[in-house]
Amino acid sequence: MFLGTLGAHRYYMGKAGSAIAMTLITVLTLGFGAFITGIWAFIDLFLIMGWMQEDQLSIENRVSQEILSRRSTQAH
């Protein structure tokens, strides 16, 4: 939970801007802002599954395009 208040999950998911905001709120308020970022992290618990599905879809699309492009270059 401590790393959640620092935005570690947002760094991992590539959401650096909001992750930096969470880290700064927690650190610059000497931990008192952890209440705010704790609520933020709790809300993120419900959002993370959607982020993971979007990431998975992006990976699948990228791999599909790579496979199709290799097939078209091999066919010529």
What is the chain's mean pLDDT, rounded? 94
Distances (CA, A) of 36 to 22, 32, 57: 9, 8, 31
Average confidence (pLDDT) over 19-38: 95
On the 0-12 / 13-18 / 19+ scale of CB atoms within 10 A, 72 is exposed
pLDDT at position 74, please?
A: 84
> Is the model more confident about 47 or about 75?
47
